[in-house]
Amino acid sequence: MRDSSETALRLPAHIRATKPYQPGKPIDALAREIGVRPEAIVKLASNENPLGMSAAARAVLTDAGTELARYPDNDCHALLAALSRRFDVPAECLVPGNGSECVLGLAATAFLEPGRNAVYAQYSFQAFVNAVQRTGAAHKVVPAHNYGCDLEAMLAAIDENTALVYLANPGNPTGSFVSGASLERFLTAVPSHIPVLLDEAYSEYLPVDDCYDSLAWVRGFPNLIVTRTFSKAYGLAGLRVGYGVAQPPLAALLNRIRPAFVVTALAERAAVAALNDEAFLVRSCAENHKGLAQLYAGFDSLGLHYLRSRANFVLVQVGDAAMVNASLLRQGVIVRPVGVYGLPDWLRISVGTGAENLRCLAALQQAMQA
Ligand SMILES: Cc1ncc(COP(=O)(O)O)c(C=O)c1O
């Protein structure tokens, strides 16, 4: 048999150095490991919507019929038309993706190569790191300020080789937030030949007072790409639908290099239905707000330090996070250790239903006493 080891394949050094994405542990995997039914497991590890998805989206899925024997619409016409109507942006500005992670990756593919660099903040989403690494470009990781982006320092880090800036707002895993006014100043200061990808995976959860109109900025900044997803507040994480918004030339470039049929037919139909069910979105955000307050109160009573979050998860400092996580898993509760982000004392806990949050807090109390 041929030697297919990485050495024999003569991989480029930057590909050899890639690390796999570490997702939250699947419910079924833990159920098998600890010998319980999957229904007994609480998963608060991947910032999914604890309410599931809109009934309208679910109805579309059960009614998909035989159309799945055909390829999807490569242009995602129905989805782009729905997004265009909903957000008042021309369809030529939209880039559909297999999750927004796909669009983050397209930006890296388009702009990065060895000799160039990408600027992003410490504690940034792992997918930024991986997307940059796959291109062979250098990482310019800017130290965080209070666990959030230091925009001044990010500006200062930009140099003649910078070819992409990634910024998530709110950020994952810290839940940090920079105001719309600061972001707009930042965008104005970044040289217009350097693309800035503003990742808004959690923007639906922002309290009204913190909302800003990034899609209006797209009209003014030819280098801005805003990405959003159906995986979080819309509850369609398993279907993988996201999108980018940019001025038409930039959107056309990203569309040119995206894989064919990037959104499945089923996912497209469900995303359109979800987009039109505003009431579900409002309810999801209200529940998230309540759940965050519930988790904060629980952490307060356990005497645990945590970071106030603008998203659907909270970072809580538990000391020996590996040990606490192991105890939580034994109790059937999956959360996310964040050692890979350089935060070995912390756990990231997604907001669940009221009952799930209670189970998690009770398990945490037991784990902390052990
Ligand atoms: C900051 C951030 N951006 C993007 C994503 C990717 O979401 P998706 O690819 O499911 O759209 C996530 C998922 O956890 C995230 O936390």
How would DSSP label each residue in 88-119? Answer: T--GGGEEEESSHHHHHHHHHHHH--TT-EEE
The beta strand positions in 202-337, using DSSP E, are 224-229, 242-245, 305-307, 313-317, 333-334, 336-337
The pLDDT assigned to 9 comes to 83
Q: Does ligand 1 come within 6 angstroms of the Cβ of 201?
A: yes
Q: Does ligand 1 come within 6 angstroms of the Cβ of 242?
A: yes
Closest CA to 309 of 146, 170, 175: 175
Report residue 322 as tokens.
């590996």
Distance CA 200, CA 316 (A): 22
Q: Does ligand 1 come within 6 angstroms of the Cβ of 231?
A: yes
The pLDDT assigned to 214 comes to 97
Q: In degrees, to the nearest 5, what angle opens at C-alpha 20 toward C-alphas 15 and 25?
A: 175
- The atom number, within ligand 1, closest to the CA of 229 reads 11
- The atom number, within ligand 1, closest to the CA of 241 reads 11
Q: Does ligand 1 come within 6 angstroms of the Cβ of 45?
A: no
Query: Would you write out the chain's pLDDT as a tens digit for each of its 370 residues?
Result: 455 667 778 899 999 999 888 889 999 999 999 999 999 999 999 999 999 999 999 998 887 766 788 899 999 999 999 999 999 999 999 999 999 999 999 999 999 999 999 999 999 999 999 999 999 999 999 999 999 999 999 999 999 999 999 999 999 999 999 999 999 999 999 999 999 999 999 999 999 999 999 999 999 999 999 999 999 999 999 999 999 999 999 999 999 999 999 999 999 999 999 999 999 999 999 999 999 999 999 999 999 999 999 999 999 999 999 999 999 999 999 999 999 999 999 999 999 999 999 999 999 999 998 7
DSSP 230: S
The pLDDT assigned to 66 comes to 62
Measured CA to CA in angstroms, residue 325 lies from 234, 293, 306, 347, 361 at distances of 28, 22, 16, 8, 13
Ligand 1 centre to CA of 303 (Å) is 30
Measured over the CA atoms of residue 318, residue 127, residue 242 and residue 88, the dihedral's sign is: positive
- The radius of gyration of the chain's CA atoms, rounded to the nearest angstrom, is 21
Q: Walk me through the domains of the chain, giving residue ranges and CATH numbers.
A: 13-52+279-369 (3.90.1150.10), 55-277 (3.40.640.10)
Measured CA to CA in angstroms, residue 63 lies from 3, 59, 79, 265, 266 at distances of 47, 6, 18, 12, 10
The pLDDT assigned to 1 comes to 44
Closest CA to 179 of 214, 221, 154: 214
- The atom number, within ligand 1, closest to the CA of 170 reads 1
Q: Does ligand 1 come within 6 angstroms of the Cβ of 203?
A: no
The pLDDT assigned to 365 comes to 97
Q: Does ligand 1 come within 6 angstroms of the Cβ of 233?
A: no
Ligand 1 centre to CA of 156 (Å) is 27
Ligand 1 centre to CA of 261 (Å) is 20
Distance CA 290, CA 351 (A): 9
Measured over the CA atoms of residue 315, residue 340, residue 352 and residue 227, the dihedral's sign is: positive
Query: What single-letter amino acid sits at 6?
Result: E
Ligand 1 centre to CA of 46 (Å) is 9
Report residue 120 as tokens.
């992003």
- To test the pocket of ligand 1, the residue of 53, 120, 199 to mutate (highest count of ligand atoms within 8 Å of its CB) is 199
Distance CA 143, CA 148 (A): 9
Closest CA to 294 of 107, 92, 50: 50
Q: Does ligand 1 come within 6 angstroms of the Cβ of 223?
A: no
Phi-psi bin for 276: left (phi > 0), alpha (psi -120 to 50), beta? alpha
Report residue 24 as tokens.
């939250």
Q: Tokens 């049929």, residue? A: 261
- The atom number, within ligand 1, closest to the CA of 101 reads 9
The pLDDT assigned to 203 comes to 96
**228: phi then psi, degrees, rounded to nearest 5:** -140, 170
